[in-house]
């Protein structure tokens, strides 16, 4: 049985864990609740995490090694989400599932996930970037408080939301320093509290948090002041590969870069390392990024 932490858990983290406890409606049908993080739509990481949970509920004994998803429509956080799972394949070593997330009778996300027992084989990984550790770095919450009096009302509501993870950026965030810079950034992240020793829970929460911070990397080479001019940013797709076991209640380094931004779409990649340098996951995402005219 997984061990359970003995102390009270922060409400934000517990709320996300509760969101990942889907209700089974039928053999391949699940329902998940939503919550409001201050954005006009459901947070994409929530839909990713819940869709992965739904897929995993139909697989026996195999952990996920990858997922690929397309965001189709904005989610409505005032209503639950239905997850319909198709058992595409169960082979000798791999299982594949397709999931459609549905709200108001329409799909809002398509996801494919692959599951694998794990086999012996070759082993290598990329080196962890040499950056300052998390100790002594300010959190995003600390940085948000420093600009609270200058933030437009819509953005302020989002920035005031306490995420379930503590986030400590190595570089100055774009919303504080709009100057042009190389499209690379690094951010330390960990869950606010210790978690049960349940590998599935840690993978699901990693899927959730992998949608934080990544796409914004594609804005770094451009002089954008988020406090003065609105910018539309929305995820179009998301891919995540689980390489090695992970604990999200220990510090993880999210190393992000953006090789391209063109035709209203930014592309960003991420590597997630444990504090001791183990590459635990890789991420890729493309999204809409375009400045908006006043009143648009």
Active site residue 211: yes
103: tokens are: 């709200």
pLDDT for 174 equals 85
Among the options 235, 258, 271, 274, which is catalytic?
235
Note the CATH number of domain 137-296.
Answer: 3.10.129.10
- DSSP conformational letter for 148: G
SS3 46: helix
Active site residue 3: no
> Mean pLDDT, consecutive 10-residue segments, the chain of 296 residues?
51 91 97 79 92 97 97 90 98 97 96 94 96 94 74 63 88 88 97 96 97 94 81 93 98 98 96 98 96 60
Q: What does the pLDDT look like over 105-125, one tens digit per residue?
A: 999 999 999 999 888 899 999
pLDDT for 293 equals 67
Note the CATH number of domain 8-118.
Answer: 3.10.129.10
pLDDT for 1 equals 39
pTM: 0.91
Among the options 103, 114, 211, 258, which is catalytic?
211
Active site residue 235: yes
Domain locations along the chain: 8-118, 137-296
Fold match, 8-118 / 137-296: yes
For residue 219, CA distances in Å to 180, 256, 264 come to: 9, 12, 11
pLDDT for 245 equals 96
Answer for the pair 269, 284: CB distance below 8 angstroms, yes or no: yes
Closest alpha carbon to 115 in 154, 70, 59: 59
**What is the 3-state secondary structure of 85-140?**
EEEEEECCCEEEEEEEEEECCEEEEEEEEEEECCCCCCCCCCCCCCCCCCCCCCCH
């Amino acid at each position: 049985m997984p061990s359970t932490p003995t102390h009270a858990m922060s409400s934000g983290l517990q709320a996300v864990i509760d969101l990942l406890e889907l209700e089974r409606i039928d053999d391949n049908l699940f329902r998940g609740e939503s919550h409001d993080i201050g954005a006009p739509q459901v947070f994409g990481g929530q839909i990713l995490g819940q869709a992965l949970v739904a897929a995993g509920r139909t697989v026996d004994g195999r952990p996920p090694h990858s997922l690929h998803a397309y965001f189709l429509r904005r989610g409505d956080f005032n209503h639950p989400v239905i997850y319909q799972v198709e058992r595409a394949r169960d082979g000798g070593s791999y299982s594949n599932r397709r999931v459609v997330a549905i709200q108001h009778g329409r799909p809002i996300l398509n996801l494919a996930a692959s599951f694998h027992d794990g086999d012996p084989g070759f082993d290598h990984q990329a080196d962890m970037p040499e950056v300052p550790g998390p100790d002594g770095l300010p959190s995003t919450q600390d940085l948000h408080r420093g600009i609270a009096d200058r933030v437009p009302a819509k953005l302020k509501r989002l920035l005031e939301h306490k995420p379930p993870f503590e986030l400590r950026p190595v570089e100055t965030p774009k919303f504080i320093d709009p100057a042009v810079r190389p499209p690379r950034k690094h951010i330390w992240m960990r869950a606010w509290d210790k978690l049960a020793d349940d590998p599935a829970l840690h993978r699901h929460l990693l899927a959730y948090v992998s949608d934080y911070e990544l796409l914004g990397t594609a804005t770094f080479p451009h002089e954008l002041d988020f406090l003065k001019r609105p910018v539309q940013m929305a995820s179009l797709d998301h891919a995540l590969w689980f390489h090695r076991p992970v604990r999200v209640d220990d510090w993880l380094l999210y190393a992000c870069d953006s090789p391209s931004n063109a035709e209203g779409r930014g592309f960003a990649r991420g590597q997630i390392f444990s504090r001791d340098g183990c590459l635990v996951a890789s991420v890729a995402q493309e999204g809409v990024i375009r400045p908006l005219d006043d009143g648009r």
